[in-house]
Structure 1
């Protein structure tokens, strides 16, 4: 076989595919779900590895039939987002030490959600459920599984939860821009408009709220631009409102790193220089933010996963009292 593998792994995982194809887990997920941008060369390499390993989405069924491995569900909005790919890797590495296999359930469309609602999905057969950035009630309706449920990056007082104070993240972003902006400044909020449906976590709405409250307190007008949740979304957002280099200073709050990368790329193409002509801050502190030297507010992904893991283990060992942890973001100042 190619890639130096003599035989197929009897139980390959998405992590195995990513490692051998030399790509991220999020990239493999995008290929499997045919979502997001992946170059044709990368797509072909991932598909080749999938075929060589014998990997299949039906791995869920094989995992559940194993007598030696306990399975847990990981319900996320979209594994194509690097944020959730990192979260999955961290959580899976910790749980594997206790012989748990983490099965991903990305709610990428209405069909996948309806399966869970109808109580027909194998998510009900797993030994526990981790849910990230989604509402338990909206997902399961009245059929909430009677097993350990841990929420990551979302809050529900009925269940163990670890989450970030997103309103305070918005306030931190506002304080940063106000500190770095001269009197004559045009302020922009580049964000994602969440629809009020089953997929909504209101993470972005909370960041928007905290940011706008501070700006209003300082009598600053803010142009709100809604964008697609891709780096191209941030690019197009500023492209639609800043055609040429403006006379006033520019200050931008992009509510996630993907939007921030696109916004910075557009400003660079217009020869608008950071800290001289503009300030920009985003949220997450993903690896791409370091590459683009974005000032950002770090989401404590590692800490959230560690706490979620500990809550699951202690609950499995008999703890009855519900635990909730609220964490804070941390300002990371770079070029912008």
Structure 2
């Protein structure tokens, strides 16, 4: 007995996505006349007749969203996922989390899951929408295989990225102010009278680091302060990297900065620990600020002066945009950048 054709078979014969076949079957206006005609021709030629139950399964929303995150142990992602999940539950959606463990490749002891594999898995699953947080999309040089699979995913279901917009790929994007946070932190030090200022943390391969280091250099240039290249240490985003950055500054056997801008609170904490191990007090001997607040930093000694990116607003914004997309509105109105605020502490 010949196996009955499926929607996937029709999609392959018509050279379109499964989602496109679904839209044709459900008379969705999103499909162009030319594409609709091609799909209908294949359906007629193959005498394809989906039963009512199958059609109901196609058109029915599963009320499930996928979140793809590059390291769930990172406090930034923990906060953001929690906010998005809260907003999702309020909107009546369940969340499936995919943790690739790709953000801290050099230090991770876990298996790194190729994001392309996850995109394929999501495409084959009944998922209504996808939220991407970090990963390969954050690198200066994004792998071609990743780009191709991301394009396929975006052609199938609504996708929203918290990060940056890549050209020629159709997804909605919520951007954080990666430059403004550094300007705010650096100017705080400058206004306090510090002149010899360094920058630590981040990875040269990640676009966020490039933007933040550029903003740091611009802030010093605008204040007519000297930029000392040896006082800029780009290694990574975690606690140990703050510690290692200070060790590198000390190993240069040259004059230390009067103040340091850390890329985030984790790096700031690691730096403070390293300075204390060398009997260098913060803020008495050297001042320190952070570009990005992580929960709990207000209980650290000394309390870190840091910049709040307001992840609770980012989470709400992501869901507002995604809900618009899920309602089949072709264009989701994107808000302006989420505002920043400085948390004064005791570290400077």
TM-score by length of 2: 0.67
Residues in 2 aligned to 1:191 and 1:246: alpha-carbon distance in whole angstroms: 19
Give the equivalent residue in structure 2 for 1:8: none
1:245 deviates by 11
Of 262, 268, 277, 1:260 maps to 268
Give the equivalent residue in structure 1 for 2:220: 215
Structure whose CA Rg is larger: 2
Residues in 2 aligned to 1:83 and 1:182: alpha-carbon distance in whole angstroms: 29
> Would you say 1:132 and 2:128 are equivalent positions?
no
* Aligned ranges 1:81-120 → 2 under 5 Å: 81-109=74-102, 111-116=113-118, 119=120
* Aligned ranges 1:140-289 → 2 under 5 Å: 140-145=149-154, 146-155=156-165, 158-183=170-195, 185=196, 187-195=197-205, 200=206, 202-217=207-222, 218-222=224-228, 223-242=231-250, 250-289=258-297
Give the equivalent residue in structure 1 for 2:25: none
Inter-CA distance 123–251: structure 2 relative to 1 (3 Å threshold) = farther
Give the equivalent residue in structure 2 for 1:62: none
TM-score by length of 1: 0.69
Q: Which structure 2 segments of 5+ residues have no match? A: 1-59, 103-111
Q: Describe the superposition over 1:172-197 as per-residue Cα deviations: whole angstroms up to 9, x where unpaired.
A: 222122122445x3x221022242xx
SS at match of 1:166: coil
Of 304, 311, 324, 2:321 maps to 311
Give the equivalent residue in structure 1 for 2:50: none
Q: Describe the superposition over 1:11-32 as per-residue Cα deviations: whole angstroms up to 9, x where unpaired.
A: xxxxxxxxxxxxxxxxxxxxxx
Inter-CA distance 124–178: structure 2 relative to 1 (3 Å threshold) = farther
Inter-CA distance 142–321: structure 2 relative to 1 (3 Å threshold) = closer
Say which structure is richer in strand: 1
| Contact 1:94–1:309 (CA under 8 A) maintained in structure 2 | yes
